[in-house]
Structure 1
Amino acid sequence: MAEGVGNVFRTAIDNMKLALQQLEDGEGLDKSKLEFNLEDFWLRLRVATKCLSNEVTKLCLAFSKPPLPGVTQTDTMLRTLETAYLEMLSAFYSLPKSCGLMLRREVNLAVLEIMQSLITVVTSVTEKGDKVQKERLVLTGCLWNACEAVERLPQNNLQVTCNIVQREEGLVLDALQEIEEEVATDQSGHRLRGEEEEAEDDNSKTWNNQDRELLFPCMGLVKTARSSLKRIHTTLQMNGKYETEEQVSQLDDLVCEVKEISPAVDDLVSCMYPPMNKNAVKSAVAVLKTRVEALLHMVKQSHYIAEQDTGWTEFLLKAVDHNNNKLQPLLISCK
């Protein structure tokens, strides 16, 4: 590539990296005090990303075969490209925190991916060779996908929250099903072997009778955590709102609490496998109990819980206590 054209590309790429760094370091000024319309925001962002995708395509096509563009033409294309990605960034920075921290985070991640793909594609244009040409097609496809992904982003903080709660419920369900399969396998083998033969088995691969007593109330606590997330998701879909800052803030707070549940479940389930670590189980039970109770108590005070929903929140709180009360004597008696 000619030195003049190379310099134009280096300057353009440096500017892109600077914009990316600013995006990674922070999300710009909070413009919640300014007039803002969420529908207008999405229209602006979609138009900007489509324009960016088109300009990248033009650039790659121009450098796909001779004669290659000269300095002036290259500079013009890269400046047009810069205008497109700066418009995308400006659209993102216009999204105020009052629309929801989770929504901002989702959009931020999408824009970051676009900028990272953009830098990779434009850098590949400066490189030569048939292999690079083929790789550039793949990289350009990744950028197109990243731009198109904007169309599929959740449109408001309620949608983001519903997606996260559903995802976390799925993670808890996966952990529960794995341990249930292990228990079912153990029960089947336990019946076939009998107690005397079992005593001769490798105790690192099977549960003893004391372990088995702990399994079901532990799984009961995990099931309660899963039921809590499932009911919250259903209630959010029916009653969730995002019209006021308080409602949006409650959704953000909910996500923070919800994200604590699946790691707590994973910690408990992981120490339930043989050989069971009783001290680890005791600690993990206490953490999960606290997390689920905190989640349910917070939910009870939120806008999306109607009077008729207090029944299931109280029922689930009692289920937490019930399983914990069954566990504590067993954990104390464990040596």
Structure 2
Amino acid sequence: MSADNCGENVSLPLRNLLNSIQCIRDRVRDGESNESDGAFNLSNFWDSLNQAVKAVSHEATKLSLAFSKPPLPSQQDVEKLSESTLKSVLSLSTVYYWLPKSQGISLRRQVRDATVEVLEGVAQLVEVILSSPLQSLSQDQLTSTGGVWSACDHFARLPQDNKAAVLMVLSDQIGVVKDAIEEIEQALSEDQDPFSDVLDNDQEPRGNQDTYWSEKDRRVIGPCQGLMKAAAACLRKLTSAVKANGDVATSQNLAQLDDLADITKEISPGLDDLALCLYPPMDYSGVENNVSKLASLLKKVLGIIRSSHVCGESQLTWVQFLDGAVDHNLQKAKDLIQQDS
């Protein structure tokens, strides 16, 4: 909103609103929840949270509409709009703080991130209103308003308990690992320079042999792929185990689910590090280092699964099988790397 179109009396409440929302957002992002002394009712929490989210969406829409066409709202109207918007934002953050960590860290993180996304969306909308000339509804304002709606709609897709939150983490990890495996498989299936897609159209293909895999390179890649596939199988099997046996009735089981979520988040970075060093020219010491790291991580993951409540008799079979597969592929990769060296 330009200075000509927006008097100081109208913009001041908006600037105060923006500062308040940004402070609330920062507190939600970095703050701790309130621990409940008594019994916590998760169902009541979700009812209250969804009502608070609807109120924020409603207030953001009212604010956007007020500044969507001339004439400017009066100072009194802007003050009322700012107050009601701030009230809805405070209510949302307050309800978020009701969720104690004892309901599960994974759940709380996802609710926190969704809450922060809404607060950032409302702050961005206020910024756009302050900076846009009041001639017509700007594209930026439409986009920002839509951004708030989208962030609010996301709450309907949030996991409702810690088991569901952990399953969402696992699903994300499975997707990332699957993509990394497919990239390597695609590169191996192509007989050409694996970096040809980054060459300019007018550049000649490079003749440097360092851009191609040697026969030894390809042999070394085999057990590395085996380790990657073991990681993918571990995530898939763990997902099934959590679905079947995951329990949120005790603090110990909640903590175990969080431990599983946290350790599995380390798999995709470890797998990416290994995948990157497989591209030519292949540095065998780097491959051996990263294959050892990934194998060690997978052994740790399998150990945590084995000692958790999600591992019953039927799960123990695949845990032991994958443990052996990790050892086999690690040793095979090391043997191949050390050949002819």
* Residue 313 (structure 2) pairs with residue 316 (structure 1): no
- The answer to whether 1:157 aligns with 2:159 is no
Matched-pair identity in %: 34
Q: Does residue 1:136 correspond to 2:144, yes or no? A: no
Q: Does the 8 Å contact 1:124/1:132 carry over to 2?
A: no
Query: Which among 185, 189, 197 is matched to residue 190 of structure 2?
Result: 185
Between 1:203-212 and 1:43-52, the stretch displaced more is 203-212
Is 1:226 equivalent to 2:202 in the alignment?
A: no
Q: How many residues align?
A: 321
Q: Equivalences for 1:82-93 in 2 at 5 Å?
A: 82-93=86-97
Alpha-carbon separation, structure 1, partners of 2:158 and 2:146: 19
**Is the CA contact (8 Å cut-off) linking 2:69 and 2:135 kept in structure 1?**
no
Displacement, 1:334?
4.9
Q: Given residue 103 of structure 1, which amino acid in structure 2 is its aligned partner?
A: L
Matched residue type, 2:42: L
Superposition TM-score, scaled by structure 2 size: 0.89
2:173 alignment partner, one of 154, 168, 173: 168
Are 1:264 and 2:270 matched, yes or no? yes
Q: Output the CA distance in 2 between the equivalents of 1:159 and 1:253.
A: 14
| Structure 2: gaps of 5 or more residues | 1-5, 193-206
Equivalent pair of 1:264/1:284 in contact (CA under 8 Å): yes
Matched, 1:118 2:122: yes
- Counterpart AA for 2:240: T
Look up the match of 1:294. Answer: 300
Say which SS state the counterpart of residue 65 (structure 1) adopts: coil
Contact 2:163 2:248 in 1 (8 A): yes
Is the contact made by 1:53 and 1:147 (CA closer than 8 Å) also made in structure 2? Answer: yes
Letter of the structure 1 residue corresponding to residue 7 of structure 2: A
**Is 2:106 the partner of 1:102?**
yes
Separation in 1, partners of 2:65, 2:242: 47
More helix by share: 1
Is structure 2 residue 34 aligned with structure 1 residue 18?
no
Structure 1 counterpart of 2:39, which letter?
E
Distance between the aligned counterparts of 1:251 and 1:72, measured in 2? 51
Q: Secondary structure at the match of 1:130?
A: coil
Query: Structure 1: 5+ residue runs without aligned partners?
Result: 188-200
Flag the 1:313–1:68 CA change in 2: closer, same or farther, 3 A.
same
Name whichever of 124-133 and 160-169 sits farther off.
124-133
* RMSD of aligned residue pairs (Cα, Å): 1.9
For the Cα contact (< 8 Å) 1:32–1:97, is it kept in 2? no
Counterpart residue number, 1:239: 245
> What is the aligned partner in structure 1 of residue 282 from structure 2?
276
Of stretches 57-66 and 86-95 in structure 1, the one that deviates more from structure 2 is: 57-66
Tell me by how many angstroms 1:174 deviates.
1.5
SS in 2 for 1:69: coil
Give the C-alpha shift of residue 186 in structure 1: 4.3
Secondary structure of the corresponding residue to residue 309 of structure 1: helix
Distance in 2, Cα, partners of 1:219 & 1:334? 21
Partner of 1:204: helix, strand, or coil? helix
Residues 67, 219 of structure 1: CA spacing in aligned structure 2 closer, same or farther, 3 A cutoff?
A: closer
1:326 matched residue in structure 2: 332
1:176-215, Cα deviation, whole Å (9 max, x unpaired): 122122223349xxxxxxxxxxxxx742132222222212
Give the Cα–Cα distance (whole angstroms) in 2 for the partners of residues 176 and 282 of structure 1: 18
- Secondary structure in 1 matching 2:180: helix
The answer to whether structure 1 residue 35 and structure 2 residue 23 are counterparts is no
Match status 1:72 vs 2:73? no
SS at match of 2:212: coil
Pair 1:47–1:202, CA change in 2 (3 A): same
1:55 corresponding residue in structure 2: 59
